[in-house]
Amino acid sequence: MDFLLLLIVGITGIAALAFAFISYVRIDMFRVDNERVSELSHIIHRGAMAFLYREYKWLLPFLLIVGVLLWIKIGGAAGFSFIIGGLCSAAAGYAGMVVATKSNGKTAFAATRGMNEALTMAFKGGSVMGMSVVGIGVLGILFCYALFEDPTLITSFGMGASSIALFARVGGGIYTKAADVGADLVGKVEAGIPEDDPRNPAVIADNVGDNVGDIAGMGADLFESYVNSIIAAMAIGLAVFGSKGVVFPLVLAAVGILSAIAGTTFVKVKDGGSASVALRTGTFVTGGIMIGGAFLVTLAMFREFALFWSVVSGVGVGVLIGFVTEIYTSGDYASVKHIAESSKTGPATVILAGMAVGMKSTVIPVLLICAATLISYYFSGLYGIACAAVGMLSITGMALSVDAYGPIADNAGGIAEMSHLPKEVRKITDKLDAIGNTTAAMGKGLAIGSAALTALALFAAYAHSVKLTAIDLNDPKVMVGLFLGGMLPFLFSSMSIQAVGRAAEAMIDEVRRQFKEIPGIMEGTGKPEYEKCVDISTAAALKEMIIPGLLAVLSPVVVGFVLGAQALGGLLGGSIVTGVMLAIFMSNAGGAWDNAKKYIEEGNFGGKGTPEHAAAVVGDTVGDPFKDTAGPSLNILIKLMSVVALVLAPLFV
């Protein structure tokens, strides 16, 4: 029975990959009949690949060294699974990036034929990332589980995935913002040329950055949540229900994959229809099928519903957090309008209003996470919490497809602009891009919510594995751990904000240099050296993620050895709590500032060129590293620290 189920799970994983491959082939077959578009897409593609190659060149030795260390200290299964986990994440990221950076130009060209063609192309491009993540995730776990037959031995699979995610998220976040700030500040502000202007040397790095940060970074983030939640559930499930408890999370994941495949077929838009409705329909269909499937699977496997309610609480909270994120960060709602209005009294009040909104926006997500925790625990204990996380992440295939669609549409807009495609085309890509901003909010909410639940599941698995009877806050060592853990997200955020600043400065200097030294660059006769800018972002991203990375990996080790397993539990608790708060705060404040600026640009409170707009731009600039670097990096920090603790737990017992 179990074997049969695992076989079906495996086939589902292969189906996901097959789906991704078919999408890729169909994208590849689409001919772009415009040399400039092809060329630009190709340059962006090359820049993104250059980043990935250099990142992976660093990561491979890292994976091997840590893998060998784990092998020696913990055991062969741990070392091997760690390396496989890292490779799987890298593979998923690679596949997604290759296709995403190929489909941006095709989306731009498809837009010449109409909305539906462009939407289909961009969404197909995104779905390769979505399906690769879930397919490779499930198959990788299955593979390791088949080899070692004990989920507690393969927790390091998730640690490998987390390591890659750290580099992808932190490095990607630094990359994208350095390029963005450099391109904007020198190009738009100093030289007065429009956004996405080909004369700007940093424009390619900027477009590459969208892929690196929002596709590779987000993909690695969700891959990490996905596999960690499944493995944590398997580990706890083994103790509670035996092998049935191990298989159930995998079956849930399989149901999620099938739901996502079904959901994608609903992403279509007729002439005059709304692309945003199409994406939403796809998401809801996926969620609906998932809930129905979870019901049947739970009934069939357990002959009762308790676990079903745990799973539903996870799915529900995942969706609701996305909506709450939208309410606090979209220009359609009061919070963003309030920030926009505060631009009347200058940049300081814009900042204060945004900070207040960001801080307030932690309340409902926290209540939702608490509700999911209590509900799932009430019905099925700690296993229920882990299954809630799996449930929330089961729709990753669909959610990530929708999310990765955004940067592709954004890139398509840039390419359309740079290759002077007709205005109607730009209109279509603009529309697709605008929808991408909304879906990004949903994706970010899911990423944070799932990071929180996954970290809680890992925490539970950790406590379980070190066989602690209690992680007792009365013990001052635990309280000290809690304080240290609570401090780390602040230190981590401070470092990533400063890293962006340093990298952006280097970029600014380079762009200024090119404007000065390359003859004819402003007239369009001299060719900017795009590669140099790509190089600066790449080098900065790789350099700047070393210390934060070490901090994340070593803190649990040091605290575990010096203060013991209980204090390490405190460290995790503290880091999860402040990490989640800061992540929500920074992501939402950043998103709200961004959209407050856009709201003013739409003509409210004076529109472009007014002091109000200038004040809103200050907010947006502050928000950029908040929402695209520091905030998302915290998702990784809390999961990585938890999984490091879980994997190394045997050393602290």
Which two structure tokens, joined as six digits, stand for 98? 């290759």
- How far apart are alpha carbons 508 and 58 in whole angstroms? 26
Complex with its own copies: residue 321 or 460, whichever CB lies closer = 460
Q: Residue 239: which of 140, 386, 351 has the closest Cα?
A: 386
Q: Answer yes or no whether residue 170 interacts with its own copies by CB under 8 A.
A: no
Residues 445-464 contacting its own copies, CB under 8 A: 456, 459-460, 463
Binding test (CB under 8 A) with its own copies, winner from 217, 570, 590, 631: 570
Binding test (CB under 8 A) with its own copies, winner from 35, 474, 603, 609: 474
Which two structure tokens, joined as six digits, stand for 434? 């605008």
- How far apart are alpha carbons 460 and 585 in whole angstroms? 25
Q: Answer yes or no whether residue 483 interacts with its own copies by CB under 8 A.
A: yes
Backbone dihedral angles phi then psi of residue 33, each to the nearest 5 degrees? -100, 50
Contact 320, 378 (CB under 8 A): no
Q: Answer yes or no whether residue 468 interacts with its own copies by CB under 8 A.
A: yes
- How far apart are alpha carbons 114 and 153 in whole angstroms? 52
Binding test (CB under 8 A) with its own copies, winner from 260, 307, 315, 471: 471
Residues 109-148 contacting its own copies, CB under 8 A: none
Contact 339, 617 (CB under 8 A): no
Binding test (CB under 8 A) with its own copies, winner from 16, 183, 251, 581: 581
Residues 303-342 contacting its own copies, CB under 8 A: 342
Q: Answer yes or no whether residue 491 interacts with its own copies by CB under 8 A.
A: yes
Residues 613-642 contacting its own copies, CB under 8 A: 617-618, 621-622, 625
Binding test (CB under 8 A) with its own copies, winner from 142, 239, 262, 480: 480
Binding residues for its own copies, rule CB under 8 A, total: 71
- How far apart are alpha carbons 640 and 147 in whole angstroms? 24
Q: Answer yes or no whether residue 493 interacts with its own copies by CB under 8 A.
A: yes
Q: Which residue in this structure is represented by tokens 């204090």?
A: 567
Number of residues that this document lists for the chain: 653
- How far apart are alpha carbons 38 and 433 in whole angstroms? 20
Which two structure tokens, joined as six digits, stand for 493? 């955020």
Q: Answer yes or no whether residue 482 interacts with its own copies by CB under 8 A.
A: yes
Specify the stretch interacting with its own copies by CB under 8 A; choose among 151-159, 293-301, 356-364, 521-529.
Answer: 356-364
Q: Residue 540: which of 514, 518, 510, 512 has the closest Cα?
A: 510
Which H/E stretch holds residue 515?
A: helix 476-517
Q: Answer yes or no whether residue 64 interacts with its own copies by CB under 8 A.
A: no
Q: Answer yes or no whether residue 585 interacts with its own copies by CB under 8 A.
A: yes
Contacts with 4 (C-beta within 8 Å, 6 or more apart), sequence order = none
Q: Answer yes or no whether residue 484 interacts with its own copies by CB under 8 A.
A: yes
Site string for its own copies, 540-569 (x = CB under 8 A): -----------------------------x
- How far apart are alpha carbons 166 and 152 in whole angstroms? 23
Binding test (CB under 8 A) with its own copies, winner from 14, 146, 334, 498: 498
Backbone dihedral angles phi then psi of residue 97, each to the nearest 5 degrees? -70, -40
Q: Answer yes or no whether residue 391 interacts with its own copies by CB under 8 A.
A: no
Q: Answer yes or no whether residue 600 interacts with its own copies by CB under 8 A.
A: no
Smallest gap from Cβ 282 to its own copies, in A, equals 32
Complex with its own copies: residue 117 or 184, whichever CB lies closer = 184
31 CB-contact burial (10 Å; exposed 0-12 / middle 13-18 / buried 19+)? exposed
Specify the stretch interacting with its own copies by CB under 8 A; choose among 152-160, 265-273, 485-493, 631-639.
Answer: 485-493
Specify the stretch interacting with its own copies by CB under 8 A; choose among 52-60, 109-117, 278-286, 371-379.
Answer: 371-379
Q: Answer yes or no whether residue 363 interacts with its own copies by CB under 8 A.
A: yes
